[in-house]
């Protein structure tokens, strides 16, 4: 079974986990496929001091996946370096 995400790619937890609000997360390693043929990843958010293990079915790509031959997927570090959106004052 092939993995859907790559190391360095920005991901977030899908809507099954609404309490997971530390994203975006960066895939920091690809773990072995478990006994149920479910790819697993270690993901890390800058907002949390620890990494998490996550099954592929529980993750969604931030910015979408690029087809083969297209530019690389969005990286977590790239999202952090973008200027913030407009702010409103009172």
Instruction: Give the pLDDT confidence score for residue 64 in this predicted structure.
Output: 53
Give the global pTM. 0.62
Taking the C-alpha atoms of residue 74 and residue 88, their distance in angstroms, rounded to an integer, is 28
Q: What pLDDT is stored for residue 18 in this prediction? A: 64
Bigger pLDDT: 8 or 21? 8
The answer to whether 65 touches 53, Cβ cutoff 8 Å, is no
Q: Any idea where the domains of the chain sit in the sequence?
A: 10-80
What average pLDDT does range 2-25 have in this prediction? 79
Helix (H, G, I), strand (E, B), or coil: what is residue 30?
strand
- Given a contact cutoff of 8 angstroms between Cβ atoms, the answer to whether 26 and 79 are in contact is no
Check residue 21 and give its pLDDT.
63
Question: pLDDT tens-digit profile of 19-73?
Answer: 666 678 899 999 877 677 778 999 998 888 889 898 888 888 887 554 444 455 5
């Amino acid at each position: 079974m092939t993995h859907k995400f790559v190391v360095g790619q920005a991901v977030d937890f899908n809507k099954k986990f609404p309490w997971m609000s530390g994203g975006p997360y960066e895939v920091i390693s690809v773990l072995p496929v478990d006994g149920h043929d479910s790819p697993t990843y270690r993901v890390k958010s800058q907002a949390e001091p620890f990494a998490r293990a996550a099954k592929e079915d529980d993750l969604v790509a931030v910015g979408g996946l690029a087809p083969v031959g297209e530019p690389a997927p969005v990286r977590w570090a790239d999202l952090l370096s973008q200027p913030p959106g407009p702010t409103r004052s009172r």
